[in-house]
């Protein structure tokens, strides 16, 4: 089955700097890669996703890139703000298959 590794497990950044979280996956059949943000005590919420026929997708300050050959994808947050502090999860799946989540990255944005 699919295996997703996520790095780093914790990430501290100064407000205004960029943050990058990287994930690798094992199943070459995976074609859908969502990212979730989970604030303390809340449910995970989808923030951005990318499909395998696209190399990059951007939504305001967040962007995701996908390298199918290397089987890795990354989340980029620019101009970080305190409200970006949360745990971020990546996931991989086939279109109709089970989602495999990474272990999560705790992002702390310090003023």
Interface positions with another protein (CB under 8 A): 1, 6, 9, 32, 34, 36, 42-46, 49, 89, 93, 95-96, 98-104
Q: How far apart are CA 87 and CA 11, in angstroms?
A: 10
Task: Classify strands 105-110 and 10-14 as parallel, antiparallel or unpaired.
Answer: parallel
Between 56 and 79, name the residue whose CB sits nearer to another protein: 56
Q: How far apart are CA 56 and CA 98, in angstroms?
A: 23
Between 10 and 81, name the residue whose CB sits nearer to another protein: 10
**Residues constituting the chain:** 111
- State in angstroms the smallest separation of the CB of 41 from another protein: 9
- State in angstroms the smallest separation of the CB of 55 from another protein: 18
Between 80 and 88, name the residue whose CB sits nearer to another protein: 88
Q: How far apart are CA 15 and CA 80, in angstroms?
A: 5
């Amino acid at each position: 089955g699919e295996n997703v590794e996520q790095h780093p497990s914790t990430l501290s950044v100064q407000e205004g700097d960029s943050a990058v979280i990287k994930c690798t996956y094992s199943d070459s059949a995976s074609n859908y890669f969502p990212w979730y943000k989970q604030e303390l005590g809340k449910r995970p919420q989808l923030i951005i996703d990318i499909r395998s026929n696209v190399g990059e997708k951007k939504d305001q300050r967040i962007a995701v890139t996908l390298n199918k050959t290397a089987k890795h994808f990354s989340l980029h947050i620019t101009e970080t703000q305190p409200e970006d502090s949360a745990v971020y999860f990546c996931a991989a799946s086939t279109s109709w298959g089970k989602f495999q989540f990474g272990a999560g990255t705790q992002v702390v944005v310090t003023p």
